A and B are shown apart, each in its own frame.
Chain A
Amino acid sequence: MGKKRIISVVAALTAGALGMSACAAPEVQSNLNEETTLVAMYNEYMYSMNSLTSYGNNMTNVNLVYLTRDNFVYYDEDLNLQANPSYGTYEKVSDNPLKVKLTYADTAKWSDGTPVDAADAVLAWGSQSGVFNNVPSEQLADMYNDDYTMKETADGQVYFDTQIYGIDWITEFPEVSADLKSVTFTYSKPFADWEAYMLYFGMGLPAHIVGKRALGVEDATAAKAAVIAAFQNKDNSALSKIANSYNSDWNFTSTPSDPDLLVGSGAFVITEIKAKEYATMKPNEKYEGDHKAPVDVFTLRYNEDPMAHVQALENKEVQIIYPMPTADVLSAVQKLSDVEVFTDPEGTFEHVDLTFDNGGPFDPATYGGDAAKALKVRQAFLKTIPRQTIVDSIIEPLNPDATVRNSYNIVPGAPMYDSAVASNGMAEQYGEVDIEAAKSLLAEAGVKTATVRVLYSATNPRRQQEFKLIKESAEKAGFEIIDGGDEGWGGALGGGTYDASIYGWASTTTGITETASYYVEGGMNNYSGYKNSTIEQLEDQIGTSLDPAEWESLNNQIEKLLVDDAYGLTLYQFPGLTAYDTSAVSGVNPIALSPTFLWNFWQWEIL
């Protein structure tokens, strides 16, 4: 190719290009969504839409269930249980035996149009009560494949991986009305928390979808009937299939291939789940209840890094955040403009327990069975615990209003808390550190040096600090404190290798029966080896009492006995941290129990 030709080609191309530049470019289309959106950020990703099984039981799953399945009751900002008649009503038909009648409202519908009715209640009861499980615990191991999946249980082997205390007291098949609008359950003995536990009925799965997936019945009405029949006739072959579907079908971390699994009865329906990143929801078109969706698209994003929450809020990518609280995160979020910050306490509380049965300084056996002596040593130790100092130095930076928790059983702010504090005597006896009193108690007991081994989580900075403060104070009174900080502290609980322990308990409901297991002999959470027959009687009474007025006095008696026995001390409520963008939404107001900031989503207003 000659030089001239090359030049002419280049020139022609350039000329062509310039000619083209006179053309108009086509108009740009983008197809962007233009709905109103609201994004909240949570610190743990969802992995199951059945939050009642042992592995789906996690706050992050409960959150999504709360948004997508309506319920009979919910907790309001004062932790009072509120009814939701637009979903259904419940009434106590008789006290003895305890009978409860659930009636579903006409407005209660699943998002595919099928009504919510007795079939769903039967499934909820059948799956949560454990009444139908026929696999003995020694055979549990055979239920799993080597890769941890649950075996498709052989025909007739039924195992629902859920057991809700109290609901297992309903052993009889309920009376179901012909139109399936109402159902009446009979408890084998009175159950104090029956009303709070109405929560578990609304959290259950849609019976017609379970029927469809497990039994292959396509028609919703027929599927409901099939599920009811399976439970009514104890048809183990069908129940086995239902249990398998119940245990595993609703476990997913991204949008499931079967849209039926996203059928819900609440204000929102899930439209997309991106594994570990987010779940988006749109208003349920079939929803006719009172708790209406406040926004066209609601997204829950997941991120565990607290600073990422704060910066995402500042960048307006999210409007509500719920990070793990630290002092740095709190000060960072407080610097933002147009942001309201809540540092209200959460459901978990920190406490110090003493061990009664390990031959240590707090065990009467050490003093030849002299219970009075051991009591004095316990009292002396508890008198040295600097509760106010711990709260001031560790919790106050996170929650300026933080106070010492003075009740064993009642969450601060819950209706019975003040009465418990006023009568149990914890505040009077252990409100302030009293080294002199501790010294004289030790002297009275005739104990020169008591060696106390303290167990706590060695990897938790907060507890390390608590240990230091307790050690410093207790040594002044003549105790010798041994650092029992342990990474595997959870496994050491109840093992008798320590005399005092520092850790937290989490409350999930305001149920009065929840804490019995700490104090009753052989109780699941009684790591202290504590025994008191009066308390056991009282716990029995409270657990079967249907009169809330009675609870208060019974609980006050229990707490008084615990303080008098120097059982241990409660320290503080874990601080929470919720913040939201006041320029984008209003009405956010978190509560101490799950689902924290989501509880009143229908009251939010998008600005």
Chain B
Amino acid sequence: MLRFLARRFALALGTLFVLSVLVHLMVDTALDPLEDLRLSTSPNKATLIANRVAMLKLDQPWIVRYWDWFTQFIQGNPGIAWKSQQKVTDLMSGAIQTSVSLILMATVIALILGVLVGIVSALRQYTALDYSITFVSFVLYSLPIFWVAVLLKQFLAIGLNDYLADPEVNWVLVGVLSAISGLFWAGALGGDRNRKLLILGLATLVSFGTLALILTSGWLDKPSIGIVGIIVLGAASAVTVTLVFAGLANKRALYSALATAGLGVVLYYPLLYLFAFIPMNWGWILGLFVVAIGCGLGIGWLFGGSDRGVSMRGGAIVAIFVSVLIFVDRVMQVYPAYYNSNTIHQRPIATIGVETPNLGGDFWVQQLDRFTHVLLPTIALVLISFASYTRYQRGSMLEVLSQDYIRTARAKGLPERVVIVRHALRNALMPLAAIIPVDLVTLIGGAVITETIFGWSGMGKLFIDSLKNAEISPVMAYVMLTGTVAMLAALAADFLYALLDPRIKVAA
């Protein structure tokens, strides 16, 4: 084990060193730090050029520049971006935050959606639904992101804002969306022809009703979930979570899930008062979140009985769900003020930036503002990365479903839910363990095009800007950082795999 680790680390260091030499040489050759001065009409151009040549040691061989960079770097000083005279460490710390906050959300959403849709697609293999999902995911996969971004801005930001200013419901569109939703549920839930038709009709009607209610009741002007919404959604989540993870026959699990939802409902008003009297920050919110999960676990433990783990897990999941509902509800309450504020001009969905400059406002306003800014880039990233997760998950699920032990499980009479959730899904999730750590590299590496179009100055933007400015230090720091993360991620993936699959051993 130690030998394995030592070998991997030595290998990683060697690779990083070679990487640094190659990238430094290539970047050094490609960049022209004097470009802007060559066209200068300044009468003291000679001095400027001499000055820059001296500063960047352009009159010396490449190896001297590399050596200077290398010795600085291994002493923990990644240098400064010479043009803007900013420390690389300062540049990076802000950029990493921006990139992570943009991409983490998108990755999580894409992962959850991709896995769910992939499973549905695999379970309904070779049906119209499966073909449709395959078609849509390939279409999304092949979309160029700069184009998606511009379309999203046009329709979801400018179009939606125009609609909010002058709401006139397009009933045809509502009808089409409802029908698509109906078709999806009919395909996903399956069954014989009559059952499908029934689901189709019901799901279409429910979707249509919900959309119509949202669009005509003025909910969009003053959105909220409210105590009623939390009761209904909390109970629904309790039932769904129990249905998937424990089965409705497990009364203890059901009751603990319901009780957790109930506790959330009871705490709704006290929490609103807490939020009103104490200025919130993320420390508070995360603390409350942890307390909520603790409550969920505790309730599950109390109801527990012989199968405590299942009830506790259900309670915790419901607690997370209800907490998020209450949080979202509170954010929604500042929406009317936000919408009518002087800086927003009644156009809430933003096309650029991370936040509205000089908005003011409390914690909740800032969360809403972040949401209106992160919405479009997140959708753009999700649309594109979701497709690959769907394909991975579908493939691995199908492979698992054809295994002998699945047939055995079905043969011994286990309910289909247990076969799918416990026997198939767990094993089908394993390939993701290899993919997710590697995706973390993009988390640090940023998304160049998305960041540029939406005006987020994250890591991708930093990299491109530094190249444009012919600043080699931040480029090298970026390459070294992503290189290191990639190596660590590969290592982590190996370990994770060994942890999940007893057939695989980490060995030298």
Which A residues have a C-beta under 8 Å from some C-beta of B? 1, 3, 6, 9-10, 13-14, 16-17, 20-21, 23, 25-37, 39, 45, 47-48, 54-55, 57, 130, 137, 140-141, 143-144, 146-149, 161, 163-166, 168, 248, 251-254, 271-272, 274-278, 280, 297, 299, 301-305, 307-308, 311-312, 314-317, 488, 490-491, 493, 503-508, 513-517, 524-525
Q: Which one, B39-47, B424-432, B492-500, is touching chain A?
A: B39-47
For residue B52, CB closer than 8 A to chain A, the reply is: yes
A491 touches B473 (CB 8 A): no
Known pairs A30-B365, A33-B358, A311-B158; A491 contacts B32 (CB<8 A): yes
Contact code string B269-297 (vs A, CB < 8 Å = 1, else 0): 10011011100000000000000000000
- CB-CB < 8 A to B258: which residues of A? 10
- CB-CB < 8 A to B68: which residues of A? 146-147
Q: Closest approach, in angstroms, between the C-beta of B506 and any C-beta of chain A? A: 39
- CB-CB < 8 A to B231: which residues of A? 17
Closest chain B residue, CB of each to CB of A281: B358
A316 touches B347 (CB 8 A): yes
B259 touches A36 (CB 8 A): no
**Extra pairs beyond A146-B79, A168-B44, A274-B354 (13, CB < 8 Å):** A6-B303, A31-B361, A37-B343, A37-B358, A55-B85, A141-B55, A147-B79, A161-B51, A272-B357, A277-B457, A303-B455, A305-B453, A317-B353
* Interface of B, helix, strand, loop or mixed by DSSP: helix
B54 touches A143 (CB 8 A): yes
In the complex, which residues 24-63 of chain B have their Cβ closer than 8 Å to any Cβ of chain A? 32, 34-35, 38-39, 41-48, 50-52, 54-57
- CB-CB < 8 A to A165: which residues of B? 42-44
CA distance A14 to B263 in the complex (A): 9
- CB-CB < 8 A to B35: which residues of A? 490
B266 touches A6 (CB 8 A): no
CA distance A506 to B91 in the complex (A): 30
Closest chain B residue, CB of each to CB of A162: B44
CA distance A253 to B48 in the complex (A): 22
CA distance A1 to B77 in the complex (A): 62
A254 touches B94 (CB 8 A): yes
B465 touches A299 (CB 8 A): no
Known pairs A140-B51, A278-B357; A37 contacts B342 (CB<8 A): yes
Closest chain A residue, CB of each to CB of B65: A146
A148 touches B45 (CB 8 A): no
A21 touches B262 (CB 8 A): no
B337 touches A137 (CB 8 A): no
CA distance A13 to B256 in the complex (A): 12
CA distance A493 to B343 in the complex (A): 49
For residue B154, CB closer than 8 A to chain A, the reply is: yes
B358 touches A275 (CB 8 A): no
A26 touches B273 (CB 8 A): yes
CA distance A409 to B9 in the complex (A): 63
Known pairs A140-B54, A149-B85; A17 contacts B265 (CB<8 A): yes
CA distance A506 to B57 in the complex (A): 27
Known pairs A33-B360, A278-B353, A490-B34; A10 contacts B259 (CB<8 A): yes
Closest chain A residue, CB of each to CB of B261: A13
In the complex, which residues 225-258 of chain B have their Cβ closer than 8 Å to any Cβ of chain A? 227-228, 231, 251-252, 255, 258
The 4 A-B pairs of least Cβ separation, nearest first, read A33-B360, A165-B43, A13-B262, A147-B79
Closest chain A residue, CB of each to CB of B330: A28
- CB-CB < 8 A to B358: which residues of A? 33, 35, 37, 271-272, 280, 297, 299
CA distance A251 to B82 in the complex (A): 11
Report 25 cross-chain contacts, Cβ distance below 8 Å, ordered by A residue. A6-B251, A13-B262, A13-B263, A14-B262, A14-B265, A27-B276, A28-B337, A31-B362, A32-B343, A33-B341, A55-B85, A137-B50, A140-B50, A163-B48, A251-B85, A275-B94, A277-B353, A301-B352, A303-B352, A316-B161, A317-B352, A506-B39, A513-B43, A524-B45, A524-B46
Q: Which of B38, B51, B259, B349 interacts with A13 by CB under 8 Å?
A: B259
- CB-CB < 8 A to A312: which residues of B? 351-352
Q: Closest approach, in angstroms, between the C-beta of A42 and any C-beta of chain B? A: 12
- CB-CB < 8 A to A17: which residues of B? 227, 231, 262, 265-266, 268
CA distance A271 to B85 in the complex (A): 21
Known pairs A3-B251, A20-B268, A140-B51; A304 contacts B157 (CB<8 A): no
Known pairs A315-B157, A316-B345, A491-B34; A30 contacts B79 (CB<8 A): no
- CB-CB < 8 A to B251: which residues of A? 3, 6
CA distance A514 to B45 in the complex (A): 12
For residue B181, CB closer than 8 A to chain A, the reply is: no
Closest chain A residue, CB of each to CB of B46: A524
- CB-CB < 8 A to B347: which residues of A? 315-317
For residue B132, CB closer than 8 A to chain A, the reply is: no
Q: Closest approach, in angstroms, between the C-beta of B350 and any C-beta of chain A? A: 6
B48 touches A490 (CB 8 A): no
B41 touches A304 (CB 8 A): no
- CB-CB < 8 A to B389: which residues of A? none
- CB-CB < 8 A to B345: which residues of A? 316
Known pairs A32-B337, A33-B361, A36-B342; A16 contacts B266 (CB<8 A): yes
Q: Closest approach, in angstroms, between the C-beta of A142 and any C-beta of chain B? A: 8
Known pairs A26-B273, A276-B465, A307-B150; A31 contacts B360 (CB<8 A): yes
CA distance A10 to B85 in the complex (A): 63
- CB-CB < 8 A to A517: which residues of B? 41, 43, 45
Most central of B39, B349, B358 by chain A CB within 10 Å = B358
B262 touches A33 (CB 8 A): no
A301 touches B343 (CB 8 A): no
In the complex, which residues 160-198 of chain B have their Cβ closer than 8 Å to any Cβ of chain A? 161
Closest chain A residue, CB of each to CB of B228: A21
A308 touches B453 (CB 8 A): yes
Q: Closest approach, in angstroms, between the C-beta of B229 and any C-beta of chain A? A: 11
- CB-CB < 8 A to A3: which residues of B? 251
- CB-CB < 8 A to A168: which residues of B? 44
CA distance A541 to B21 in the complex (A): 54
- CB-CB < 8 A to B266: which residues of A? 13, 16-17, 20
Q: Closest approach, in angstroms, between the C-beta of B352 and any C-beta of chain A? A: 5
Closest chain A residue, CB of each to CB of B47: A163
For residue B482, CB closer than 8 A to chain A, the reply is: no
Q: Closest approach, in angstroms, between the C-beta of B65 and any C-beta of chain A? A: 9
Closest chain A residue, CB of each to CB of B464: A304
CA distance A161 to B35 in the complex (A): 19
A26 touches B357 (CB 8 A): no
For residue B15, CB closer than 8 A to chain A, the reply is: no
For residue B452, CB closer than 8 A to chain A, the reply is: yes
Known pairs A6-B303, A146-B68; A301 contacts B77 (CB<8 A): no
Closest chain B residue, CB of each to CB of A47: B84
B72 touches A147 (CB 8 A): yes
Known pairs A141-B57, A280-B358, A316-B345; A311 contacts B51 (CB<8 A): no
Q: Which of B57, B86, B341, B452 interacts with A253 by CB under 8 Å?
A: B86
In the complex, which residues 61-78 of chain B have their Cβ closer than 8 Å to any Cβ of chain A? 68-69, 71-72, 77-78
Q: Closest approach, in angstroms, between the C-beta of A447 and any C-beta of chain B? A: 32
In the complex, which residues 90-118 of chain B have their Cβ closer than 8 Å to any Cβ of chain A? 91, 94
CA distance A299 to B358 in the complex (A): 8
B153 touches A311 (CB 8 A): yes
- CB-CB < 8 A to B353: which residues of A? 277-278, 301, 317
- CB-CB < 8 A to A28: which residues of B? 276, 333-334, 337
- CB-CB < 8 A to B85: which residues of A? 47-48, 55, 148-149, 248, 251
For residue B338, CB closer than 8 A to chain A, the reply is: yes
Q: Closest approach, in angstroms, between the C-beta of B45 and any C-beta of chain A? A: 4
Closest chain A residue, CB of each to CB of B350: A317
B86 touches A525 (CB 8 A): no
Q: Closest approach, in angstroms, between the C-beta of B91 and any C-beta of chain A? A: 8
Most central of B46, B255, B273, B455 by chain A CB within 10 Å = B455
Q: Closest approach, in angstroms, between the C-beta of B251 and any C-beta of chain A? A: 7
Most central of A147, A248, A504, A516 by chain B CB within 10 Å = A147
- CB-CB < 8 A to B272: which residues of A? 25-26
CA distance A488 to B333 in the complex (A): 57
CA distance A277 to B355 in the complex (A): 9
